C-alpha cells in the first residue's frame, strides 16, 4: 500500500508539475511557438458488421452463430481556439441482427455507450491538457481499436480484460522530441467513470485511476511503448497496479506487433474471488502482405487471468483485404485452449468502413 501511495503521488506531481517542465524543455528546442491550425466542427464515424460461428464445444458459453452490427460509432470534434477544442464519441454495440435458433431480438437490445467526451486545451504546440472522459493509454490497441483500423475481427483479451479502458478526469499530453523526451501522457481519475457501461458489458468497474504512458515512435508505424496504471475496483477493497509494454515494427512486407501486461492485485472482492495475486499475459501478431490488398495474419495469445489457475491461450490465422475504398474485409479462424474468456474457437468474419 505504501508503494501504491508513492506511485499516486509521483503521477500527480507529473500531472501538476509537468506543464512547467515540458514547456521549459520545449523552449530549449525552439525560439517561438508554432501557431496551431484551427478548423471548424467536423463529424465522422465507422461501422462494422460481424459474423461469428463458434464450434459446438464453445457455443454454450458464447452463443450460437450470429450476425451483428458489432459497432456503429459517431464522433465529432471542434477546433475553435487554444482553449476550446471539444471531442465526443458515441457508440452502439452488439446489435444482433440474426441469430441461429432465435429471433433478431433474442440476444437482447443493443447498448449505446459514451466512449469519449473531453476538451483539449493547448498550452504550446507540443503540450496540452485534456479534461473529460477519454480512452486510457494502456498499450496501443486500446487507443486505436476502431474496427477499420485493426487487422483482425477479434481483439486480444489482454488489451482490455484486466484494466480500465476509460478514464474520467484530467490528462497531460506531451508530444516529445527524440532529442529530449518521448511522447508522454499522464492521467488521473479522482472518482468514478462518467456514464459507465452497463455491467453486462464490463468485467469490472474501476475508480480512483492514475497512470502514465510513454511512447517512442520511429518512422510511421514503428513504436515502443511503456504503460503504468493503478486503479481500485469499485465497491471492493481491491487495488491493482499494471505495468505493460507495446511494440510495433515493420520489416518490408512483414509487420509485427506485440503487447504484454503484468498486474499485481491486493485486497478482497467477494463477487470475483481470485486464485492468484499476479495476472499477466502477452500476444504476438504478424501480418504479411501477399499482394497489393491482401494480408495474411497470424496471432498467438497467452493470458494467466486472476480468477483461474488455468491460463487462456488462443491461436489465430486469417486474411485481411483492404483496397483504396473505405471498406475492410476480414476472415479468420481461432483455436481456443484452456480458460475460456471472451474468445471462442470458431470462424469470424467482418466488414467495416469509415464514413
Per-residue pLDDT tens digits for 59-95 = 544 467 889 898 999 999 999 999 999 999 999 987 8
Q: At 9, phi and psi to the nearest 5?
A: -65, -40
| 278-289 vs 254-266, strand pairing mode | antiparallel
Average pLDDT of the chain is 88
Tell the burial category of 245 from Cβ atoms under 10 Å away from its Cβ (0-12, 13-18, 19+): middle
Strand partners, 76: 43, 88
**pLDDT tens string 12-63:** 555 545 444 444 444 433 433 444 455 688 999 999 999 999 885 655 444 6
Query: What's the grid cell of residue 322?
Result: 483492404
The pTM (predicted TM-score) of the whole model is 0.88
Q: What is the mean pLDDT of residues 128-135?
A: 98
pLDDT the model gives residue 167: 98
- Region at 267 (left for phi over 0; alpha for psi -120 to 50; beta for the rest): left
| Domain architecture of the chain: domains with CATH | 2-29+42-354 (2.40.160.10)
Q: What pLDDT does residue 6 have?
A: 53
Q: What is the pLDDT of residues 256-296, one digit of tens each?
A: 999 999 999 999 998 899 999 999 999 999 999 998 899 99
The reported pLDDT for the residue numbered 24 is 46
Running DSSP on this structure, what letter comes out for residue 100?
Answer: T
What DSSP string describes 3-47? HHHHHHHHHHHHHHHHHHHHHHHHHTT-SSPPPPP----EEEEEE
Q: Determine whether 343 is exposed, middle or buried from the number of CB atoms within 10 Å of its CB (0-12, 13-18, 19+).
A: buried
The arithmetic mean of pLDDT across residues 107-121, rounded, is 88
In tens, the pLDDT along 189-225 reads 999 999 998 887 889 999 999 999 999 998 788 999 9
Owner of C-alpha cell 493470458 = 303
The SS3 assignment for 149 reads helix
The pLDDT score that the predictor gives to residue 133 is: 98
Instruction: Tell me what pLDDT residue 22 has.
Output: 45
For residue 81, give every residue at least 6 positions away whose Cβ sits within 8 Å of its Cβ, in sequence order, or none. Answer: 38
What is the distance, to the nearest Å, from the Cα of residue 61 to the centroid of all Cα atoms in its chain? 24
Alpha-carbon gap, residue 314 to 340, rounded angstroms: 10
Per DSSP, what are the bridge partners of residue 320? Answer: 295, 330
Q: Residue 74 contacts by C-beta under 8 Å, 6 or more apart in sequence?
A: 43, 44, 45, 89, 90, 91
Q: Is 336 exposed, middle or buried (0-12, 13-18, 19+ CB in 10 A)?
A: buried
Interatomic CA distance for residues 312 and 324, integer angstroms: 37
Task: Name the percent of the chain lying above pLDDT 90.
Answer: 70
- Contact by Cβ (8 Å): 307, 273: yes
b/e for 27-49, b at 16 or more Cβ within 10 A? Answer: eeeeeeeeeeeeeeeeeebbbbb
**Res 105: pLDDT:** 61
DSSP structural state of residue 81: S
- Residue 11: the pLDDT is 57
Closest CA to 55 of 340, 286, 281: 340
Quick: pLDDT tens for 234-247: 999 999 999 999 99
- CA distance linking residue 265 with residue 231, whole number of Å: 10
pLDDT at 58: 54
The whole-number pLDDT of residue 111 equals 84
Q: Where are the beta strands (DSSP E) in the chain?
A: 42-54, 66-77, 86-99, 111-122, 127-135, 166-174, 183-189, 206-218, 222-233, 239-251, 254-266, 278-289, 294-304, 312-322, 327-338, 346-354
Identify the pLDDT of residue 150: 96
Express each pLDDT in 304-315 by its tens digit: 999 999 999 999
Dist. CA 148–CA 322, nearest whole Å: 9
As given in the structure block, the three cell numbers for residue 323 are 483496397
Yes or no: say if 143 and 137 are a contact pair by the CB < 8 Å rule.
Answer: yes
pLDDT at 220: 82
Amino acid at each position: 500500500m505504501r508503494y501504491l501511495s508513492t506511485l499516486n503521488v509521483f503521477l500527480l506531481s507529473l500531472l501538476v508539475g509537468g506543464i512547467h517542465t515540458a514547456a521549459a524543455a520545449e523552449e530549449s528546442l525552439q525560439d517561438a511557438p508554432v501557431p496551431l491550425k484551427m478548423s471548424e466542427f467536423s463529424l465522422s464515424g465507422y461501422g462494422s458488421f460481424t459474423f461469428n460461428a463458434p464450434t459446438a464445444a464453445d457455443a454454450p458459453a458464447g452463443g450460437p452463430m450470429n450476425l451483428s452490427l458489432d459497432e456503429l460509432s459517431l464522433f465529432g470534434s471542434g477546433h475553435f481556439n487554444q482553449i476550446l477544442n471539444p471531442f465526443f464519441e458515441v457508440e452502439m454495440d452488439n446489435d444482433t441482427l440474426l441469430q441461429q435458433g432465435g429471433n433478431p431480438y433474442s440476444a437482447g437490445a443493443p447498448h449505446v455507450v459514451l466512449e469519449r467526451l473531453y476538451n483539449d486545451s493547448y498550452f504550446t504546440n507540443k503540450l496540452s491538457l485534456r479534461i473529460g472522459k477519454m480512452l486510457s493509454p494502456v498499450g496501443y490497441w486500446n487507443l486505436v481499436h476502431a474496427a477499420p483500423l485493426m487487422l483482425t475481427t477479434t481483439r486480444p483479451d489482454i488489451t482490455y480484460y484486466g484494466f480500465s479502458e476509460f478514464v474520467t478526469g484530467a490528462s497531460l499530453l506531451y508530444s516529445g522530441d527524440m532529442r529530449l523526451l518521448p511522447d508522454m501522457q499522464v492521467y488521473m481519475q479522482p472518482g468514478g467513470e462518467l456514464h459507465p457501461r452497463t455491467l453486462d458489458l464490463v468485467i469490472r468497474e474501476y475508480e480512483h485511476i492514475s497512470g502514465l504512458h510513454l511512447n517512442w515512435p520511429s518512422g510511421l508505424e514503428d513504436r515502443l511503448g511503456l504503460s503504468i496504471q493503478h486503479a481500485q475496483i469499485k465497491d471492493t477493497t481491491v487495488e491493482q497496479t499494471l505495468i505493460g509494454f507495446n511494440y510495433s515494427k515493420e520489416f518490408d512486407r512483414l509487420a509485427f506487433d506485440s503487447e504484454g501486461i503484468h498486474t499485481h492485485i491486493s485486497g478482497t472482492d467477494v463477487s470475483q474471488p481470485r486464485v492468484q495475486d499476479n495476472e499477466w499475459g502477452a500476444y504476438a501478431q504478424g501480418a504479411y502482405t501477399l499482394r497489393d490488398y491482401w494480408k495474411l495474419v497470424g496471432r498467438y495469445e497467452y493470458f494467466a487471468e486472476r480468477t483461474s489457475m488455468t491460463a487462456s491461450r488462443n491461436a489465430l490465422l486469417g486474411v485481411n483485404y483492404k483496397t483504396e475504398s473505405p471498406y475492410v474485409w476480414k476472415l479468420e479462424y481461432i483455436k481456443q485452449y484452456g480458460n475460456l474468456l471472451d474468445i471462442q474457437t470458431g470462424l469470424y468474419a467482418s466488414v467495416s468502413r469509415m464514413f
